[in-house]
A and B are shown apart, each in its own frame.
Chain A
Amino acid sequence: MSTPLPTKAIPAKLGVGPHGLAALDYSILQQCMHCGMCLPSCPTYLETKRERHSPRGRIALMRAIADGEYAVTREFGEEMYYCLGCLACTTACPAGVNYAELFETARADIEQHRVLDTPARRGIRWFALRLVFTRPRLLKVLGRLLWLYQRSGVQTLLRKIGLFSLLPRRLRELEKQTPEVRTQFSDSLVKEVEAPYGPKRHRVAVLTGCVQDILFSEINHATVEVLRENGCEVFTPRNQYCCGSLHAHNGDPEAAKDLARRQIEMISPESVDAIITNAGGCGSHLKHYDTLLADDPRYAARARIWSNKVHDIHEWLVKISFRKPKEAPQQDQVITYHESCHLCHGQKIVSQPREILRSLPGMTLRECAQSSHCCGSAGIYNLTQPATAASLQAQKVARIRETGAHVVATSNPGCHLQLQIGLRDADDSMIEVSQPVLLLARAYAEERRHRTMKR
């Protein structure tokens, strides 16, 4: 089943013919009228107040490249990897600039031109993008090894002897951030097909995600449970592929396309009412398979069906008028909500998670200032730009703490982790990080417990 993707080498020299920014539909670049309305929403601009670190500046650079006045240089490469890809600019932009497309094209161009290339970077990219994140089994084996390493006491031991202090700072930070791997992945928590509790009204497929599955498999379990509670028969394919968002956002569109085709094969979109995703970043990408595969004669039509059926879990629950829980998941708790960028800016899903949180008995939602500002996680940004990521993380944690909430809910594994680490490093904080579906599933479970107790 899981034949590896062709890891065909990208030609060392540029192919003939137009490509990248130069070949992009020019009107997408022209759409930006440099009014500057996006600047106050851009985290990187706010950090430095330097125009090139703003959406308007980045688009100006791209346009200069398309106009042949500037080349894809190392500076440009660094600039585009300094951009978080958080898409806050697209929400702010009155002119409707499609920054998501510009961003992906620019990063692909940078990879094609190899302006950031070093042997180490090439190695890491090949290992991550082409090897690990295209082979679900390998990813899980690695996850399992990481778990063993953490559980066997080796990690604690090494941490104790201070061996890590020998590592360079960057790696040391990384080691501190290795999250706790789950003991069980989704495949062992949910069956391939789960029946609804009660009459069946819909048939849906659930995507388990890569990082989500290794670090937060209980959220996948919770997703399946809330769907079953709401009349859905749930199909969760085994050994799922990565959705390809990692590849699309990191300049590897070819691998992203291959993975998209595999996803479509894995879940025939025709066979379900909805395809459910619970990670903001994946969802944002999954909804764009139609444009990603628009030129693929074999898959274009199915990709359109696919894109129409992909729903974020919160979006779907509100769409099918989810049942309000009768019991509290936790008593007398104040909860606040941190919006994952790709959910609110990428998918424009803003009210639905809040509606779910407000439906929880015993919990009060208190808004946090700038809830839609990036937390600095942004894919692997906290590894590639540790200083900026840390600054954004600290700002986010401070704003969460200002609310006095006991729980902060979010809806993307990257944000979840970033908040956990940020709150942990803020020491005295007892704020729990959770997700709306997790709380909802807990409330439903509480209900069931009460019912059985009464009997």
Chain B
Amino acid sequence: MGLLSSIKKGMGGEEQQMPPTSPPAQTEEARREERATPDRIRVGHVHLCGCTGCVVALTDIYQGLFKVLDDYVDWVYGTTIADVRRIPEMDVALVEGAVCLQDHEQIQDLRTTRLQSKLVVAIGSCACTGNILRFSRGGQVNQPQHESFAPISDLVDVDVHIPTCAPTPQQIRNTIVMAYLLLKGTDDQKALAGRWLKPMMDLARTPFYQKASFNTLMQEVINQGLCMGCGTCAASCPVRAISMEFGKPNGTRDLCINCGACYAQCPRSFFDHDLMEQHESIMELIQGAMAPK
């Protein structure tokens, strides 16, 4: 899909050089999954070390999921909800979970995903920042030697982040709608969707964000003199580790699971005035795109 690579160029991302791959042998199973879907983008869900909460969040779009599967997305891979065994070529690969460095099959899956996908989207904090798996020390049945878990950006380039534990259905919905508008929308819609996606692509390329925790909010917002005590971080924290003391955030770092929600949601991490001035029409656009036929 030439559009996607031109978008990545336009967004400042490096175009992935696709190595010449011989087409996979067509088994009966692979042929049956193949359908003619010219208008939809090929999306798959690759499951590494995650709790399945992210893909459950995707299904929590409820009726919207039917709209997505009918009109926007051809679901080509996803061991949880689609019966395909081999990772196919994809336009967008949603990767859930951190990668276990002792699991060679998993590393191979991640490598294959990167090589065969136009866009790799880290969905959920395990894939984006390592999340709670950062605290794993191994020792569990039945693979006690599985002890080091890294965000996927440690091994492959990631194009878009959808952080938080678990990611919200609304953020996944907005990402899908924006990705679709980028591909199929009018010129104005393409420009809008590009602006919307840019910060999420920037997060994926920001080294400090790949290791995000409350400390990131502290170092990049509070210590930089940018915090104005709005309380967004406290509302964002999935483990209620942040309280507001005399109008400023205080993080209980023993509770922090390194999900990066507070930094990503903070209005002083990134904020696009031009985009936000259009908040009303953006919300109408998203609701319109998700409205049932």
A and B pair up? no
Chain B residues engaging chain A, CB cutoff 8 angstroms: none
A residues with a Cβ closer than 8 A to B are none
